[in-house]
């Protein structure tokens, strides 16, 4: 029977449609995550051995993060009309970060006190050991002055070769101001920085094709190494944490989006590929370059994106904020330690510091929790052994919440600063102006006349700048 003679009521998707679906990165990552979970569940030892696939993919992307942040921030500052705008954007971003981080912590504190997931466990502290915990969880943590000094790199170049975002931001801001104040000489270097960023984003576009492999390896390792059986004993903690993270995203971040005239669910659809990559790798760092490109495509100006989004990776970790309050109070409940409201608020104040500077990599939330417990006398750090086995199952929620929070923060700060094309943002989130990756190198247009002054928000080819064209009418 021919294809046209198929039985009535049966629908056979054309091969071309299937191929088009499989060509989408989010479909590939979704399939990879499911396959990784299956391999880890059916063959745990084999799944645990696939960890290098995820680690290798994250390492490849991290190799480009520092230079990409440097190029984006430097060119954005150098092309701004005045240096005062940079300080204004930074101040607004920090105010937003502190407010939303505090809200996240308070929500986590309320939930853990109402649900009380650790109540009734009656764990004997003498039976706990720090053996098997990561070294970062058992070492002494430095104070606020040391944290500030750590943002200053040893040399100008060493900031680009380290693993921290804050030193890169510091060097980028200073270098951008220097170019801005150097006149014609700075303008020539700014053009070179812009062209170099085009090359970097082209390379990132190639590397992102490996995202499904990285997601497959990371998910197979998580399920194979830790096993779903470890969730049985601490299911109430893990489940309540995930539900709290979902509540924060839908209610708090949804309210922020509505106040800015945008829709959260449309934004989540827009970044669905990035969400699946983060779900598979438990890290927000691999999607930082793509998020910068997509937020600029959605109408936020390059300088605001270049300053706000990288800073959010250190100062606006909403998922980690929820985890810190819920994790610390859970451990106190499990050990039978009563924490008064004053003691809990004091811990919250400490967490506002320990949550900063924790990069969006796997396990950073656990290290931040260790730093919190070592800074307050109420809960002994040895209690971390209770949740170490299930921490990985909460790291996905931490990373997803922080990713969405930083995306929303960037759009909110851009609108607050008057640097968001609202009509374009709405059209992009509705799908009327689809996001397209960087064009092939052969499609790069001819070099402009060097005598021409670049537009204030000129973008590299890999990060298409909003054209401010009228929004197409809905059909």
What per-residue confidence (pLDDT) applies to 463? 43
Q: Which two tokens stand for residue 321?
A: 């904020």
Side-chain-facing half-sphere of 111: CA atoms under 13 Å: 26
What per-residue confidence (pLDDT) applies to 122? 64
Positions of the chain with pLDDT lower than 70, given as ranges: 1-15, 26, 79-83, 120-148, 150, 163-165, 226-233, 353-365, 367, 374-377, 389, 437-475
Q: pLDDT per residue over 33-64, tens digit each? A: 888 888 888 888 888 888 888 888 878 877 87
Q: Which two tokens stand for residue 363?
A: 């396990």
Compute φ and ψ for 434, nearest 5 degrees.
-65, 150
CA dihedral 352, 357, 359, 362 (to 10 degrees): -50
Q: Which two tokens stand for residue 202?
A: 């082209």
Could you give the angle at which helices 302-315 and 51-78 cross, rounded to 10 degrees? 130
Side-chain-facing half-sphere of 28: CA atoms under 13 Å: 14
What per-residue confidence (pLDDT) applies to 257? 94
What per-residue confidence (pLDDT) applies to 376? 65
Q: Cα angle at 171 between 169 and 173, to 5 degrees?
A: 65
Q: Which two tokens stand for residue 422?
A: 């609202």
CA dihedral 329, 334, 340, 346 (to 10 degrees): -30
Q: Which two tokens stand for residue 198?
A: 């085009």
What per-residue confidence (pLDDT) applies to 2? 47
Q: Are 274 and 291 in contact (CB under 8 A)?
A: yes
Domain boundaries defined on the chain? 25-434
What is the C-alpha separation between 24 and 209, in angstroms, rounded?
10
At the second CATH level, the architecture of 25-434 is Orthogonal Bundle (1.10)
What is the C-alpha separation between 293 and 288, in angstroms, rounded?
9
What per-residue confidence (pLDDT) applies to 471? 43
Neighbours of 110 (CB within 10 A): 13
Please identify which residue in the block is written with the tokens 């290098």. 52
Burial label, 215 (beta-carbon count in 10 A; 0-12, 13-18, 19+) = buried
Q: Are 286 and 360 in contact (CB under 8 A)?
A: no
Q: pLDDT per residue over 341-369, tens digit each? A: 888 888 887 777 666 655 544 556 676 77
> pTM of the entire structure?
0.72
Side-chain-facing half-sphere of 232: CA atoms under 13 Å: 4
What is the C-alpha separation between 314 and 323, in angstroms, rounded?
15
Coil vs helix vs strand at 253:
helix
Neighbours of 390 (CB within 10 A): 19
Q: Are 315 and 166 in contact (CB under 8 A)?
A: no
DSSP secondary structure letters along 411-438 = HHHHHHTT-B-HHHHHHHHTTSS----P
């Amino acid at each position: 029977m021919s294809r046209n003679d198929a039985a009535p009521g049966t629908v056979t998707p054309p091969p071309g449609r299937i191929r088009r679906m499989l060509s989408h990165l989010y479909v590939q990552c979704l399939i990879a995550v499911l396959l990784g979970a299956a391999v880890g569940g059916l063959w745990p030892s084999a799944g645990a051995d696939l960890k290098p696939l995820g680690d290798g993919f994250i390492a490849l992307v991290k190799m480009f993060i520092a230079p990409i942040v440097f190029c984006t921030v430097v060119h954005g500052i150098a092309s701004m009309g005045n240096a005062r705008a940079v300080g204004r954007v930074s101040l607004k971003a920090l105010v937003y970060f502190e407010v939303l981080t505090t809200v996240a912590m308070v929500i986590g504190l309320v939930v853990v006190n109402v649900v009380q997931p650790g109540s009734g466990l009656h764990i004997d502290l003498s039976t706990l050991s720090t053996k098997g915990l990561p070294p970062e969880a058992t070492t002494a943590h430095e104070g606020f002055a040391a944290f500030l000094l750590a943002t200053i790199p040893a040399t100008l170049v060493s900031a680009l070769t380290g693993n921290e975002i804050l030193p890169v931001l510091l060097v980028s801001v200073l270098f951008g101001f220097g170019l801005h104040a150097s006149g014609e000489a700075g303008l020539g270097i700014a053009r070179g920085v812009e062209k170099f960023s085009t090359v970097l984003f082209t390379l990132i576009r190639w590397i992102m094709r490996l995202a499904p492999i990285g997601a497959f390896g990371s998910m197979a390792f998580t399920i194979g190494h830790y096993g779903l059986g470890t969730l049985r004993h601490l299911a109430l903690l893990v489940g309540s944490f995930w539900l709290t993270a979902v509540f924060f995203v839908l209610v708090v971040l949804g309210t922020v989006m509505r106040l800015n005239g945008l829709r959260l669910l449309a934004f989540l659809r827009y970044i669905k590929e990035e969400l699946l990559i983060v779900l598979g790798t438990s890290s927000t760092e691999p999607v930082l370059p793509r998020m910068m490109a997509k937020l600029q495509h959605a109408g936020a100006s390059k300088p605001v994106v270049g300053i706000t989004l990288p800073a959010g990776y250190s100062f606006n970790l909403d998922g980690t904020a929820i985890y810190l309050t819920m994790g610390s109070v859970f451990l106190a409940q499990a050990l039978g330690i009563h924490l008064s409201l004053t003691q809990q608020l004091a811990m919250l104040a400490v967490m506002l510091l320990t949550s900063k500077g924790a990069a969006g990599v796997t396990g950073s939330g656990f290290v931040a929790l260790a730093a919190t417990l070592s800074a307050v006398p109420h809960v002994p750090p040895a209690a971390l052994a209770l949740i170490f086995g299930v921490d990985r199952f909460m790291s996905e929620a931490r990373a997803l919440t922080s990713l969405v929070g930083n995306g929303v923060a960037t759009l909110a700060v851009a609108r607050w600063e008057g640097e968001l094309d609202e009509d374009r943002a709405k059209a992009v989130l509705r799908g009327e102006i689809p996001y397209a990756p960087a064009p092939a190198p052969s499609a790069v247009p001819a070099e402009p006349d060097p005598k021409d002054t670049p537009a204030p928000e000129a973008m590299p080819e890999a990060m298409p700048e909003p054209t401010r064209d009228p929004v197409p009418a809905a059909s």
